[in-house]
Amino acid sequence: MEELKISTRPSISFRPINPSDLERLEQIHRDIFPIRYESEFFQNVVNGGDILSWAAVDRSRPDGLSDELIGFVTAKIGPAKETEISDLIRYNSCKGEETLVYILTLGVVESYRKRGIAKLLIKEVIKYASSVPVCRGVYLHVIAHNNPAIRLYKRMSFRCVRRLHGFYIINGQHFDSFLFVYFINGSRSPCSPFDLVVFVLNYMRSGIKSVASKLTMKHEQKGLKWLKCKDITRCLLPTQTKRNLASERVSSGYDYV
pLDDT tens readout for residues 99-120:
999 999 999 999 999 999 999 9
For residue 245, give the amino acid letter: L
For residues 71 and 56, the answer to whether their CB atoms sit within 8 Å is: yes
Please choose, from the candidates 188, 168, 190, 191, the residue with its C-alpha nearest in 3D space to the C-alpha of residue 178: 168
Is there a single domain that holds both residue 209 and residue 97?
Answer: no
Is there a single domain that holds both residue 95 and residue 164?
Answer: yes
pLDDT attached to residue 120: 97
Is there a single domain that holds both residue 111 and residue 201?
Answer: no
User: What global pTM score does this model have?
Assistant: 0.72
In this structure, of 2-16, 121-135, 205-219, 232-246, the range with the lowest mean pLDDT score is 232-246
Is there a single domain that holds both residue 48 and residue 175?
Answer: yes
pLDDT attached to residue 177: 96
Is there a single domain that holds both residue 130 and residue 215?
Answer: no
Domain annotation covers residue 239: no
pLDDT attached to residue 149: 95
pLDDT attached to residue 221: 46
Query: pLDDT for 61-110, tens place per residue?
Result: 887 899 999 999 999 999 999 999 988 887 766 667 899 999 999 999 99
Label residue 202 exposed, middle or buried (CB < 10 Å: 0-12, 13-18, 19+). Answer: exposed
Distance CA 230, CA 237 (A): 11
CA-based max dimension of the chain: 94
Beta bridge partners of 142: 178
Q: How many distinct structural domains can be found in the chain?
A: 2
Is there a single domain that holds both residue 118 and residue 91?
Answer: yes
Distance CA 53, CA 76 (A): 9
Domain annotation covers residue 3: no
For residue 199, give the amino acid letter: F
pLDDT higher than 90, residue 255 = no
Alpha helices (runs of H) in the chain, residue ranges in sequence order: 22-32, 39-46, 117-130, 147-155, 193-215, 222-236
Is there a single domain that holds both residue 76 and residue 129?
Answer: yes
User: By residue range, what is the domain housing residue 203?
Assistant: 190-220
Question: In terms of pLDDT, which residue wins out, 8 or 182?
Answer: 182
Please choose, from the candidates 145, 80, 139, the residue with its C-alpha nearest in 3D space to the C-alpha of residue 106: 139
For residues 101 and 53, the answer to whether their CB atoms sit within 8 Å is: no
pLDDT attached to residue 220: 44
